[in-house]
Amino acid sequence: MTISHVVMWHLKGETPAEKAVSAERVRSVLLPLVERIPQIISMTLHDSVVHEARNADLILLSEFASVDDLLAYQVHPDHEAAAAVIRSVTTDRVVGDWITGA
């Protein structure tokens, strides 16, 4: 059993180029966490291919061995620092967590 964690953001920026800069900023602070936070099993970031206002611009998919590992990740100081940066380049987010492989 693993816990899957998804976060979807709307990025700040009026143009695709501005949103791409925001997306790169998110990548630059999140992807290094895989090496720093041992609870992360996997983490990938994906750009949306449908660019409508109602759709998210950037999607994070990550996996954890347990809910406790997910919760430990969420309060880890490196994650909290990354989250502060992400809040500066996003307008909103939606989060979901579920059990996979049960």
Please count the other Cβ atoms lying within 10 Å of the Cβ belonging to residue 19.
Answer: 20
Is residue 5 predicted with pLDDT exceeding 90?
yes
pLDDT value of position 23: 97
Which tokens hold the place of 94? 């939606």
pLDDT value of position 60: 99
Q: What is the pLDDT of residues 35-93, one digit of tens each?
A: 999 999 999 999 998 877 789 999 999 999 999 999 999 999 999 999 999 999 999 99
Q: Do the Cβ atoms of 23 and 47 come closer than 8 Å?
A: yes
pLDDT value of position 68: 98
**Predicted TM-score of the model (pTM):** 0.93
Q: What is the pLDDT of residues 6-32, one digit of tens each?
A: 999 999 999 989 999 999 999 999 999
Closest to 90 (Cα-Cα) out of 7, 5, 13, 6: 13
pLDDT value of position 52: 77
pLDDT value of position 102: 64
Q: To the nearest 5 percent, what fractions of the chain are helix, strand and coil?
A: 40, 35, 25
pLDDT value of position 101: 81
- For the chain, list the domains and their CATH numbers: 2-100 (3.30.70.100)
